[in-house]
Structure 1
Amino acid sequence: MAKVTLQHLRKVYPNGYVGVADASFEIADGELLVLVGPSGCGKSTLLRMIAGLETISDGELRIGERRVNDMPPKDRDIAMVFQSYALYPHMTVAENLGFGLKLRGMSKADVARQVGEAAAMLELEPLLERKPAALSGGQRQRVALGRALVRKAQVFLLDEPLSNLDAKLRMTMRVEIARLHRQLGTTMIYVTHDQVEAMTLGQRIVVMKDGKIQQIDTPMALYERPINLFVATFLGSPKMNILWGPVLERDGGLHLRIGEGVELRLRPQGEMLEKVRAYIGRELMIGLRPEDMHLAEAGPDTLPAKVEVVEPVGNEAFLNLGCGGCDLVLRLPPFHLPAPGETVHLSYAAERMHFFDRQSELRL
């Protein structure tokens, strides 16, 4: 095991495109860190730079105490699990697991021992004599994980390993990977575009967009205090509701005018009060999570909204609404739901509001 240190890593392609702009952070020894962001944000490029599969244009990469910028992948003591299983179809599970160890000149006895350990850990022992064609998608992914585990490398790199699985298998394998990490205590860097995977797996999360790191923190810190609008709306399912409009001062209080005759009462506290007051007459963006808005009786501090779509998903329901030109989603118990076309009134947790500058989209 080893820590991984990135100091101002950049990847610039010959055509001038910047794949990774300036990545600087440290993955602690034994940490499971997740790189997350939309397609094309640079997360897989960054992982491949750590693996040695992409050249580093600038900056320094260290694994443990070694500078590895120009070191070939085979000498970096890393193991990688790719999006595709990449199993040899003519080999059995046992042969797939042990192939890399044989190439390194390990004795048959040692290969058999390490394959046996990995198979027991991943519950692959009944499958060792099967070939990949006789395995389910989840079983193939476990073999791909096992092939990395037998390496006993200092760092494990996982590049969207669950994206080819169905929803049920993804959930099962998420639990499996988390369990393996706790059991092994090894350093893992996990790439995904799925924010649910990121939130449930990562001890810390690196959020990326357009090759740039937006924010690095624990899952709940990112959820509770996103640094900008992108992080706020990317993490969370359904995503954060965003309302915008000019800030008004009336009747001794602050209001956000969302539309004609539709206003949101603002109650910022402490130093945030002065920050919001500075926006009087200017546009401000307000974020509220779906769980922080509720159906209520009409009143002075409620918002009128029109129900557009109702999505019952079993233990809860999502209510899609229109409100003064803004689209909102509420997370509710699946009972006594209004019908599409109805007008409802919404209460909201004013103390749970997130404030963002309309132009820069940065958190106040």
Structure 2
Amino acid sequence: MAAVRLEKVRKVYPNGHVALKEASFEIADGELLVLVGPSGCGKTTLLRMIAGLESITGGTMTIGDRVVNDVAPKDRDIAMVFQNYALYPHMTVRENLGFGLRLRGVAKDEIARRVADAAAMLGLEERLDHRPAALSGGQRQRVALGRAMVRDPAVFLLDEPLSNLDAKLRLSTRVEIARIHRRVGATMVYVTHDQIEAMTLGQRIVVLNGGEIQQLDTPMKLYEKPANLFVAGFLGSPAMNLFHGTLRREDGLRLVMKDGAIDLGTDSAALAAYVDSPIIVGLRPEDLLTVADHAGLDERLRAHVEVVEPVGNEIFLNMRYAGDELVSRVPPQSAVAAGSDVGLGFRPGRLHFFDPATTARIPVEG
């Protein structure tokens, strides 16, 4: 396995479109790093640049101890798993798994050993003599993963490998990929637009938007301390609630909006510069609590419940307050009904603050 290092890597197409602005970070040897962001953010372009399928306009790309800017894809010691399985329909699973090794002239007994090991790890032993048409979508994706595994590459590159699977298969295959990573200890770069996949799979996550890295950190640090409004809104389902208003100091800090005001119950030297100025306050749905379900919690606002969404182990309350749409995640025992008004509160330490001009997080910790 090998580490991958990017130093001010850029991609600009001949028409002037900047697909990737300067990207500098390192993927540790044996790490599973996820590239996540909306369509067109540059994540697949970046993956293809690591693979050598896209040229590098500027900067330096290193795999292991070797600069690979001008190294052909076949000489980079990488294996790529695509969104479509790209299996040979006339070949059996065994033949698909070993095909790349045969092209490289690997001995037959070594091919047989590697194929058997991969099949055992992926639960494909009983499918080795079947053709792809006889396999489920999840089994075909496991064959595609196995074909990459048998090569024992320095780096695995996975480009939205689960997007063609249904919800149940996505979950089971996602777990399988995590297990494979733990067993093999491989360096993996995984591209997805699905923030749930990113949060559950990645040891670290690179959040991209508009060809620019917004933040790189562990899943929970991204969730707990998003660097800006984009990260705050992109990671988390349902998305973070955002209140737009003016910060006032009236026996403590208050957020004053056009049709309402909220006592924030907190103060911080970091917020002093924003008093009497616009500010954005964020609150995760699980931190926007119903007063009726939490004894001793102060009511800080009263919202109108428009839609109640029970999803089994929890309920989402879709509400409106001062013209803003809000979502609260409440216990399944909650008796809140659509059309009613509900008192809401929060722990002040769970609030997030953002500068409306720069969209950057305002650090208020401590």
In the TM superposition, what whole-angstrom CA distance separates every residue of 1:316-349 from its partner, at most 9, and x where no partner exists? 1111000111111111112243222211110111
Residues 96 and 246 (structure 1 numbering): CA distance in 2 closer, same or farther, change over 3 Å?
same
Alignment of 1:285 with 2:283, yes or no, is no
Q: CA contact under 8 A between 1:296 and 1:302: conserved in structure 2?
A: no
Alignment of 1:150-229 (within 5 A): 150-229=150-229
Please report how far the alpha carbon of residue 134 of structure 1 lies from its aligned counterpart in structure 2 after TM superposition. Answer: 0.5
Alignment of 1:254 with 2:249, yes or no, is no
Q: CA separation in 2, counterparts of 1:323 and 1:176?
A: 43
Please report how far the alpha carbon of residue 12 of structure 1 lies from its aligned counterpart in structure 2 after TM superposition. Answer: 0.4
Alignment of 1:91-106 (within 5 A): 91-106=91-106
Moved more, 132-141 or 274-283: 274-283
Which residue identity does 2:271 align to in structure 1? Answer: V
Please report how far the alpha carbon of residue 229 of structure 1 lies from its aligned counterpart in structure 2 after TM superposition. Answer: 0.5
Q: CA contact under 8 A between 1:265 and 1:301: conserved in structure 2?
A: no
Q: CA separation in 2, counterparts of 1:88 and 1:300?
A: 63
Alignment of 1:53 with 2:53, yes or no, is yes
In the TM superposition, what whole-angstrom CA distance separates every residue of 1:144-197 from its partner, at most 9, and x where no partner exists? 000000010010000000011111111111111111111011111101111111
Which residue identity does 1:363 align to in structure 2? Answer: R
Counterpart in 2 of 1:358?
356
Please report how far the alpha carbon of residue 120 of structure 1 lies from its aligned counterpart in structure 2 after TM superposition. Answer: 0.6
Q: Identity rate of aligned residues, in percent?
A: 62
Q: TM-score, normalised by structure 1?
A: 0.96
SS at match of 2:263: strand
Q: TM-score, normalised by structure 2?
A: 0.96
Which residue identity does 1:238 align to in structure 2? Answer: P
SS at match of 2:359: coil
In the TM superposition, what whole-angstrom CA distance separates every residue of 1:13-72 from its partner, at most 9, and x where no partner exists? 010001111110000111110000011100000000000000111110000000100101
Please report how far the alpha carbon of residue 138 of structure 1 lies from its aligned counterpart in structure 2 after TM superposition. Answer: 0.3
Q: CA separation in 1, counterparts of 2:298 and 2:63?
A: 59
Q: CA separation in 1, counterparts of 2:194 and 2:334?
A: 32
Q: CA contact under 8 A between 2:9 and 2:57: conserved in structure 1?
A: yes
Q: CA separation in 1, counterparts of 2:298 and 2:183?
A: 54
Counterpart in 1 of 2:79?
79
Counterpart in 2 of 1:294?
289
In the TM superposition, what whole-angstrom CA distance separates every residue of 1:87-138 from its partner, at most 9, and x where no partner exists? 0111100010011000001121111111111101101010001100100000
Counterpart in 1 of 2:318?
320
SS at match of 2:308: strand
Counterpart in 2 of 1:342?
340
Q: CA contact under 8 A between 2:291 and 2:299: conserved in structure 1?
A: no
Which residue identity does 2:320 align to in structure 1? Answer: G
Q: CA separation in 1, counterparts of 2:210 and 2:284?
A: 25
Please report how far the alpha carbon of residue 221 of structure 1 lies from its aligned counterpart in structure 2 after TM superposition. Answer: 0.7
Q: CA separation in 1, counterparts of 2:78 and 2:264?
A: 51
Q: CA RMSD in A?
A: 1.3
Q: CA separation in 2, counterparts of 1:68 and 1:29?
A: 17
Counterpart in 1 of 2:231?
231
SS at match of 2:274: coil
Alignment of 1:333 with 2:337, yes or no, is no
Q: CA separation in 2, counterparts of 1:118 and 1:299?
A: 54
Q: CA contact under 8 A between 2:252 and 2:266: conserved in structure 1?
A: no
Q: CA separation in 1, counterparts of 2:252 and 2:54?
A: 55
Gaps of 5+ in 1: none
Counterpart in 2 of 1:110?
110
Which residue identity does 1:196 align to in structure 2? Answer: I
Q: CA separation in 2, counterparts of 1:148 and 1:255?
A: 56
Counterpart in 1 of 2:271?
276
Q: CA separation in 1, counterparts of 2:124 and 2:301?
A: 55
Q: CA separation in 1, counterparts of 2:230 and 2:335?
A: 31
Aligned residues: 359
Please report how far the alpha carbon of residue 310 of structure 1 lies from its aligned counterpart in structure 2 after TM superposition. Answer: 0.8
Which residue identity does 2:68 align to in structure 1? Answer: V
Gaps of 5+ in 2: none
Q: CA separation in 1, counterparts of 2:315 and 2:297?
A: 24
Please report how far the alpha carbon of residue 244 of structure 1 lies from its aligned counterpart in structure 2 after TM superposition. Answer: 1.1
